[in-house]
Amino acid sequence: MNRRFRRTIHKCFNVQKSSLGCRVEPTLNAQLLQACKELIDDAKMCCADLVFKEVCLEILSRASHVLTNTQFKQLAAYATERMKEKIPFEVQEELAMHR
């Protein structure tokens, strides 16, 4: 996985944890949900399909610990839709050239 995304994902989910689980305020939950969607969008624009799917799984794995069930389902649906989208051929060529 791209190191930049790995660091960004780690920073995004660096939440104070207690013995009872994560303590996340409702406004922070909304910000985390939005940040997750932005990470997914960024990954879609600069990763090949296989790497993009790996990034999405990593984001979803970490998000499941900090988002509410409803927000997690929203994020999973969002990621699913983004995975179904095909990236333009020109972008695929550009990604292949940068490998």
Q: Is the pLDDT of residue 93 over 90?
A: no
| Structure confidence at residue 41 (pLDDT) | 93
13 alpha carbon, distance to own chain's centre: 10
Q: Looking at per-residue confidence, does 40 or 95 come out higher?
A: 40
90 vs 94: CA distance, rounded Å: 6
37 vs 41: CA distance, rounded Å: 6
C-alpha distance across the termini of the chain, in Å: 12
Q: How many domains does the chain have?
A: 1
On whether the pTM is more than 0.75, the answer is no
24 is in which domain, residue-wise?
3-97
Contact criterion met (CB below 8 Å) for 45 and 91: yes
Per-residue pLDDT band at 20 (split at 50, 70, 90): very low
